Amino acid sequence: MSTVRARAPGRVNLIGDHTDYTGGLVLPMAIDLETVVVADRGGDRVVLASVEDDHPADVGLDVADPAAVEPAWARYVAGVVAVVQPSRGLRGHLSTTLPVGAGLSSSAALEVSVALALGFEGSPLALARACQRAEQLASGVPCGIMDQLASAAGVEGHALLIDCSTSTVEPVPLPEGLEVVVVHSGVARRLAGSAYADRRAECEAAEAEIGPLRSATAADVAGLADPVLRRRARHVISENERVRAFAAALAAGHLADLGPLLEASHASLREDFEVTTAELDALAGRLRATPGVLGARMTGAGFGGCVVALTGPGALHEGWQVRAAPGASVVTEG
């Protein structure tokens, strides 16, 4: 019997939210908080104990409906089993340094680490696609590929400029002395699943009229009759431009340009995409006003969750200070 140890990081998105599922640009980084699975391969079930829950995940290799599995976190394990269709099971345990459900993609880290432990073989992109499908099966949320791809393809010391239309990943070095701090708004994500699906459907409705948002112009967007669709589309095309400008400013070391782009991203997610909350708005404003902070914005899906701040050394003493970490990896013995 072989023993396997697989690790997968969470992620924080620096800029580019609600763009991935329209083939847009995103700039996340894998972080130094991660989930680790240590298990023996064999048998016809995947049984994983977790220090977070008295109830283990216990999933048959023939699982038919991952969304019906209990406890709820085991649905992500079941989703991976359903997609990867391994010939052997696993028995072991998992542990995580990620805050669960805080918007740092603990579910993506769980999926990616379990897929590797099950023996998934393929490129980081193939791994991310399998785990994106697993997340959709487990949660019913039609998520994009950003979280799983950041976890699978992370590069130490770098953010990842991902073009979701071609699925290319370009590592962008993070300048020395730039700190990334993630602070929770104190509000768990509310109605995240249905509101997320609504936003995605609105983007698709806009695309049915004016074609892919990735190549749409401001003039195309102005031609949309429905004011809600117009605002949703305007967010997407302006956010893609901000991601491009942000990556260029990072690469050139123009740190003073980062703050205004973070602020504009947050404003667009608040006004045009309507996925922030009063708590996220207040927190981003407070952090932005703190000496040494270059800028702050909500990160991830919104509807609650976290704000990411970029700062000079030692400016913030709250939340999680995270570093850009390498992507997921696996070691097998015996």
Q: Which residue has the tokens 């942000």?
A: 246
DSSP designation for 142: -
Kindly indicate which of the ranges 16-24, 208-216, 246-254, 285-293 contains the residues binding ligand GLA, using the contact rule CB under 6 A. 16-24
Beta-carbon count within 10 A of 247 CB: 21
Hey, what are 222's tokens?
Answer: 């102005």
H-helix or E-strand containing 91? strand 90-96
Of 26 and 330, which CB lies nearer to ligand GLA in the complex structure?
A: 26
Question: Measured from the CB of residue 25, what is the shortest distance to ligand GLA in angstroms?
Answer: 11
Backbone angles phi, psi at 105, to 5 degrees: 65, 45
Of 38 and 180, which CB lies nearer to ligand GLA in the complex structure?
A: 180
Furthest-apart CA atoms within the chain: distance in Å: 63
d(C-alpha 180, C-alpha 169), whole Å: 20
Compute the Cα dihedral for 253, 259, 29, 213 and give only its sign. Answer: negative
Q: Assign residue 23 a region: left if phi > 0, alpha if psi is -120 to 50, beta otherwise?
A: left
Among 30, 57, 80, 301, binds ligand GLA (CB under 6 A): 301
Of 9 and 89, which CB lies nearer to ligand GLA in the complex structure?
A: 9
Q: Report CA-CA distances (Å) from 168 to 110, 124, 160, 172, 298.
A: 23, 11, 10, 13, 24
Among 21, 120, 273, 320, binds ligand GLA (CB under 6 A): 21
Size of the site for ligand GLA (CB under 6 A): 10
Of 197 and 315, which CB lies nearer to ligand GLA in the complex structure?
A: 197
Hey, what are 104's tokens?
Answer: 């740092």
Of 80 and 90, which CB lies nearer to ligand GLA in the complex structure?
A: 80
Q: Is 239 in the site for ligand GLA (CB under 6 A)?
A: no
Question: Measured from the CB of residue 11, what is the shortest distance to ligand GLA in angstroms?
Answer: 9
Q: Which residue has the tokens 């669709």?
A: 229
Q: Is 34 in the site for ligand GLA (CB under 6 A)?
A: no
Name the E strands within the chain. Answer: 3-15, 25-41, 45-50, 53-60, 90-96, 158-163, 168-173, 179-184, 293-299, 306-311, 320-322, 329-333
Q: In one letter, which amino acid is 260?
A: P
d(C-alpha 276, C-alpha 301), whole Å: 9
Q: Is 20 in the site for ligand GLA (CB under 6 A)?
A: yes
Kindly indicate which of the ranges 17-25, 62-70, 228-236, 314-322 contains the residues binding ligand GLA, using the contact rule CB under 6 A. 17-25
Among 300, 304, 319, 327, binds ligand GLA (CB under 6 A): 300
Which 200-219 positions form the footprint of ligand GLA (CB under 6 A)? none
From the candidates 17, 20, 147, 272, give the one annotated as an active-site residue.
147
Q: Is 304 in the site for ligand GLA (CB under 6 A)?
A: no
Name the E strands within 16-157. Answer: 25-41, 45-50, 53-60, 90-96
Q: State yes or no: is 147 an active-site residue.
A: yes
Q: Is 272 in the site for ligand GLA (CB under 6 A)?
A: no
Q: Is 23 in the site for ligand GLA (CB under 6 A)?
A: no
Q: Is 10 in the site for ligand GLA (CB under 6 A)?
A: no
Which 118-177 positions form the footprint of ligand GLA (CB under 6 A)? 143-144, 146-147
Q: Is 89 in the site for ligand GLA (CB under 6 A)?
A: no
d(C-alpha 50, C-alpha 218), whole Å: 49
d(C-alpha 136, C-alpha 117), whole Å: 20
Question: Measured from the CB of residue 269, what is the shortest distance to ligand GLA in angstroms?
Answer: 9
Q: Are strands 320-322 and 179-184 parallel, antiparallel or unpaired?
A: antiparallel
Question: Measured from the CB of residue 3, what is the shortest distance to ligand GLA in angstroms?
Answer: 31
Of 38 and 264, which CB lies nearer to ligand GLA in the complex structure?
A: 264
Q: Which residues bind ligand GLA (CB under 6 A)?
A: 17-18, 20-21, 143-144, 146-147, 300-301
Query: Which residues are identified as catalytic?
Result: 147
